[in-house]
Structure 1
Amino acid sequence: MLIAQLSDPHLCAPGTLYQGLVDSNAMFAAAIRRLATLDPSPELVLISGDVTEHATPEEYRLARLLMADIRQPVLAIPGNHDEREAFRAAFADAGYLPAAGPLHFVAGDHGPVRVIGLDISVPGQHHGDFDAAAAGWLEAALAAEPDRPTLIMLHQPPIETGIGFIDAYRCFNGERLEAIVARYPVVERVLCGHVHRHMSLRFGGTLLQIAPSTTTAIALRLAPGAEPASFVEPPALLLHHWRPDVGMVTHHVPIEPGEGPLAFF
């Protein structure tokens, strides 16, 4: 099963630029065009939060318009730049989000790999929180099919990346999530966004991976007290390839593929 992960498009009102600097809308459209070139095509597309920049109805209308060009089913979760009720309304017709409460979901009808989405957003704040209620919900969801290969998707990573100015807005109570994941070895990946960089590390006996943004990249500044900054680096998506005899392999796929194909040597 092939699953593509896009993250942090930060879509803005038509005719406006993200942070007044870059055309995030055009960059997301380019990512969708890149999706269409993948061969074989993914069976499912995930968007790991910050679909919009200001969570306005206009931005969500644009999101749905652009996403209409994605041929595959799409599962999205909110990020800290989204707003829960606006997000719920924008994606209500997709059928996978609950009618009330946090936007947690379980999607198990798109192939052999089950996808669990966690809404760990804190209304009005930029950090996330895996609270006791979310922990109880996730434990029940995992226990319902304890032998099925599973991806868990949330926006803010539940770990410190080493980039201090973004770690302040991580998902808190990550150790609670890690303890649950450790009890379910069927969790193939914990997938995140938020950091606008591709990162991976061991987490709860599995692999936690952070997807790059389809727009700007957070500056890789690991020095304590470093000033926040971003760069326009080559954007990318992640492609997760699950096979029953292998497990999951994850590929970093640039939006602009570069020169080639060239002769193999």
Structure 2
Amino acid sequence: MLIAQITDTHIKLPGKLAYKKVDTAAMLKRCVDELLTLDPQPDLILLTGDLVDLGRPAEYDHLKSILAPIRQRIIAIPGNHDDREAMRGAFHAEGYLPTEGKFLQFVVEDYPLRIVGLDTLIPGEGGGELCAERLEWLDRTLAQKPDVPTLVLMHHPPFITGIGHMDKIGLKGSDGFAAVMERHRHVELILCGHLHRTIHAQVGGRPAMTCPSPAHQVALDIDPEAPSCFTMEPPGFMLHWWNGRRLVTHTAVIGSYDGPHPFFDANGKLID
């Protein structure tokens, strides 16, 4: 099974730029075009939050129009820039989001990997939270099928990254989340967004990682006093390949680059 993860698309109303600089819509279109060239094609697309920039219904309409060429199923969780009710309205037809309730948390059980989506949103705030109610739901949900390999999706990473300004808007309840992970060794991977770049960590003994954005990236500045900045590094997404025994992750860079070039000539000799 091949899964594509896209995160932090930050789609605005048509014609609007993020931070008066980033054409997030055009960059997501490039990402979609890149996905459509993959062979083999992903079986599933995951969107790990900050789908739009201001949580407006019209932004979700614009997002869905850009994603329309994708024929695979798309599963999305909210980020801090999202609005629960607007997102519920935009994705209700896909059938996995709860139709009522405080949180957009869900389980998808149609694939070799069980997919558990978490809602870390605090309305109006940049940081996230897994409160006692959300953690209890997660613990109970994971306990239902302890023998099924599972992916956990969440927007805010449950670990300190070292990038100071992002850690200040990190995840409340991360210790409780780590305790849950300690009890559920069948969690193969925790997939996150929010950081707009690739970062790996261990949480409760389980692997966790963030994903690059198809638009702008958070500046790499390992400093507790790091200023809040972004860069226009090469955009990307991730491919997670489940081979039936373990999960292998690749970071895909979006854009046209020189190559591919062969290592060996027509006679099988290394080109030197």
SS in 1 for 2:152: strand
Matches within 5 A, 1:141-160: 141-160=141-160
- Contact kept in structure 1, 2:158 and 2:203, CA below 8 Å: no
Matches within 5 A, 1:59-98: 59-98=59-98
Q: Which amino acid aligns with 1:206?
A: R
Say if 2:198 is the partner of 1:198.
Answer: yes
What is the rounded CA distance, in whole Å, between the counterparts of 2:160 and 2:57 in structure 1?
33
What is the rounded CA distance, in whole Å, between the counterparts of 2:34 and 2:204 in structure 1?
32
Provide, for residues 170-194 of structure 1, a one-character-per-residue CA deviation record: whole Å limited to 9, x for no partner: 1111111111112111111001000
Residue 103 of structure 2 is matched in structure 1 by 102
What is the rounded CA distance, in whole Å, between the counterparts of 2:2 and 2:69 in structure 1?
18
What is the rounded CA distance, in whole Å, between the counterparts of 2:195 and 2:69 in structure 1?
26
What stretches of structure 1 of length at least 5 have no aligned partner? Answer: none
What is the rounded CA distance, in whole Å, between the counterparts of 1:38 and 1:257 in structure 2?
14
What is the rounded CA distance, in whole Å, between the counterparts of 2:77 and 2:122 in structure 1?
13
What is the rounded CA distance, in whole Å, between the counterparts of 1:136 and 1:173 in structure 2?
12
Say if 2:6 is the partner of 1:6.
Answer: yes
- Contact kept in structure 1, 2:5 and 2:239, CA below 8 Å: yes
Runs of 4+ aligned residues of structure 1 deviating over 6 Å after TM superposition are none
What is the rounded CA distance, in whole Å, between the counterparts of 1:223 and 1:68 in structure 2?
40
Larger Rg: 2
What is the rounded CA distance, in whole Å, between the counterparts of 1:45 and 1:238 in structure 2?
10
Q: Which amino acid aligns with 2:48?
A: S
What stretches of structure 2 of length at least 5 have no aligned partner? Answer: 265-272
Task: Give 1:6 deviation, angstroms.
Answer: 0.3
After TM superposition, the score normalised by the length of structure 2 is 0.94
Task: Give 1:224 deviation, angstroms.
Answer: 3.1
Task: Give 1:257 deviation, angstroms.
Answer: 5.0
Matches within 5 A, 1:1-265: 1-100=1-100, 101-109=102-110, 111-245=111-245, 247-256=246-255, 258-265=257-264
Residue 269 of structure 2 is matched in structure 1 by none
Provide, for residues 204-232 of structure 1, a one-character-per-residue CA deviation record: whole Å limited to 9, x for no partner: 22210100111111111112322221100
SS in 2 for 1:202: strand
Provide, for residues 43-74 of structure 1, a one-character-per-residue CA deviation record: whole Å limited to 9, x for no partner: 11000000000111211101111121112100
Q: Which amino acid aligns with 2:160?
A: E
SS in 2 for 1:241: strand
The aligned length equals: 263
- Contact kept in structure 1, 2:129 and 2:173, CA below 8 Å: yes
What is the rounded CA distance, in whole Å, between the counterparts of 2:182 and 2:39 in structure 1?
34
- Contact kept in structure 1, 2:57 and 2:87, CA below 8 Å: no
After TM superposition, the score normalised by the length of structure 1 is 0.97
